Amino acid sequence: MPAANIAPMDSQAKPHASSEPLTYWGRVRDVAAAFFPMGFIAFGGPAAHIGLFLKTFVEGERPWLDEQRFMELMSLGQAMPGPTSTQMATAMGITRAGALGGLVSFWLFDWVGFAVQLSTGAAVYYLDLGALDTYKMVVLGAGPAAISLVFLAARMLGNKACGDDPLRISLALFTCFVALLLPREHMRWAAFAFPGLILFGGLVTALDARRPSRRAAYEKALSPPTGKGLLKQIGIPRPAGLLLAMVAVGLFPFAWVARDLACGGFGGAGSRQLAVFSSLYWMGFSIYGGGQVVLPMLESEFTRGRCEPGETGSFPPLDAETFGFGLALAQSLPGPLFNLSAFLGAAVAGVGGGIVGFLGLFGPGILLIYALMPFWESLRRHEWVRCALVGMNASAVGLVFQACVTLWAKYCTNGAEAAVCILAMAMHKRFAPGDTKPLALRRAWPALVIFSCATLCLVLFFLDLNGAYGDWCHVAKYGDFATQPNRTEACPSAS
């Protein structure tokens, strides 16, 4: 997802820094050299990732793409299911070194966050949960601190995708309004509602761009694309792309059915892993708008559960504070928010669950970006396609704002949590170290903000500034102590 305004520049990319043409394996090594350090420094969420890509691959020492193609890839990532920044990283690896280059860029961009999330989730699964009360208390405010980045991303995306255009703002508001009214007990229908809203936004702007009085509002989208030699460098034939698309789409109904069969339909040692994979693949195919949009569905699936306790093939629900800890960990690590899938899968089904959960949530988006790349060079020649992406981006922003509302209601249930969330926003936005500060401090700032604000929230609870808490019984049942009636139910000593 976009992070910053892109300065005007020549539409044609500059040549690579090396004057000698690289061999295929030289280009693969070039991809590895570019993305290996990003696995350690890509903090700050998708907005920051897009800015990092822009500086490196458009304006920097590895200008693989021109600005127009970069913006198109960004729009495609927003309009397709899956994590935008990872899809962009994969697509840039493909444009540089073909199919292998895409795999290299995907793995090197994600592996650090994946490894930490997998190991932490496995620790939660294999340790006695009764011994984790201390850790739950320590990270009590991690959830409210972590969602501050979601609000900042929503603001940045709104400015970038909508600007001051009334139609785009209206599309974002309409999408947010409809998404908020979807009954939470029927969240599976979001698999159809969310893509429908995205496509509706694309249809509206594609038609609006045909009006002579509105042509100026689509000046960038109407500009003819440049560069025609990239398709040969990609090296993925169209039949292979079509086959990958069929695989991605074909796995979706399988995942849909397997989600329900998991509740008592089969048994065996691998049934939990299959339940995790099917649930996360279903979400990965259904989610448009990035990690902020998938969070409410992940929270519903993993903390409420769909099956009766003890049913064969199901996985037990997590408590809300464990989910919040995983979210805070994902927000404070480099890489995409979708790495949370490794933590959640491992926390409910061990190491195997973390691996298949990671593959399930990332799989649809990566398969589809591979499938689309051979066709995009032809599709991008059509004005209506580029104009449709404008509305699809605006509608995706509406889903991000819907996620803001949902996450605030979940994690900011009292004054202390709300204050910590707002403080974290201010520290991220107004007090972040500038370019003159040490590079290590700038890279570590998101993690420092999240965990320092989480510590402050813990202090506020110790001081009992809101009253009505009494003892620490709410540590074992996070989220049920915000009001006096719920606290009485969760804490018998309070009655």
Instruction: Give a yes or no: residue 127 inside a domain.
Output: yes
> Phi then psi for 423, rounded to 5 degrees?
-60, -40
459 within domain boundaries: no
- Cα–Cα distance between 83 and 94 in angstroms, integer? 16
Model pLDDT, residue 44:
60
Is residue 19 one of the residues assigned to a domain? no
pLDDT of 477 over the 60 cut: no
Number of domain units in the chain: 1
State residue 480's pLDDT score.
34
- Residue 461 falls within a domain, yes or no? no
pLDDT tens digit string along 85-129? 899 999 999 989 889 999 999 999 999 999 999 998 998 888 755
Read off the pLDDT of residues 312-326 as tens digits, 9 standing for 90 and up: 456 778 877 788 778
Identity of the highest mean pLDDT range in 57-61, 201-205, 228-232: 201-205
Tokens of 400: 């991000």
pLDDT at position 251: 92
Other Cβ atoms less than 10 A from the Cβ of 24: the count is: 13
Q: Which residues pair with 288 in a beta bridge?
A: 81
The per-residue pLDDT for 312 is 47
Between residues 258 and 137, the one the model is more confident about: 258
Q: Is residue 332 part of a domain?
A: yes
Q: From CA 204, how far away is CA 207, in angstroms rounded?
A: 5
Is residue 6 a part of any domain in this protein?
Answer: no
**Other CB atoms within 10 Å distance of the CB of residue 404:** 18
- Residue 190 scores a pLDDT above 90: no
Q: Among 125-134, 229-238, 433-442, whose mean pLDDT is lowest?
A: 125-134
Mean pLDDT in residue range 176-199 = 72
Residue in 102, 45, 100 with CA at minimum distance from that of residue 73 = 102
Percent of the chain with pLDDT over 70: 74
Three-class SS state of 288: strand
The dihedral sign for the CA sequence 107, 294, 140, 144: positive
Q: Look at the alpha carbons of 110, 123, 411, 464 in this order and tell me if their dihedral is positive or negative.
A: negative
Q: What is the pLDDT of residue 358?
A: 96
| DSSP letter assigned to residue 466 | T
Q: Note the pLDDT tens digit of each residue in 269-297.
A: 457 888 899 889 988 887 765 665 677 77
DSSP annotation of 479 reads T
More confident of the two residues 105 and 131 = 105
Phi-psi bin for 235: left (phi > 0), alpha (psi -120 to 50), beta? left
What value does the mean pLDDT take over residues 177-199?
Answer: 71
Q: How far is 284 from 293, CA to CA, in rounded Å? A: 11
* pLDDT tops 50 at residue 21: yes
Residue 425 pLDDT exceeds 50: yes
Q: What CA–CA distance (Å, rounded) separates 372 from 380?
A: 11
Task: Return d(Cα 430, Cα 444) in angstroms, integer.
Answer: 16
Query: Is residue 303 predicted with pLDDT exceeding 50?
Result: yes
CA–CA gap between residue 350 and residue 304 (Å, rounded): 19
pLDDT digits (tens, 9 = 90+) for 346-402: 998 899 999 999 999 999 999 999 998 888 877 877 888 888 888 887 887 887 788
Report whether 396 contacts 156 (CB < 8 A): no
According to the model, what pLDDT value does residue 69 have?
Answer: 77
Q: Coil, strand, or helix at residue 81?
A: strand
Domain residues for the domain of 399 are 24-222+235-411
CA distance 121 to 343: 4
In whole angstroms, what separates CA 327 from the centre of its chain? 11
Instruction: Look at residue 469 and tell me whether its pLDDT is greater than 50.
Output: no
pLDDT digits (tens, 9 = 90+) for 201-227: 999 999 999 899 998 888 878 877 665
Taking alpha carbons only, the member of 47, 10, 77, 48 closest to residue 389 is: 77
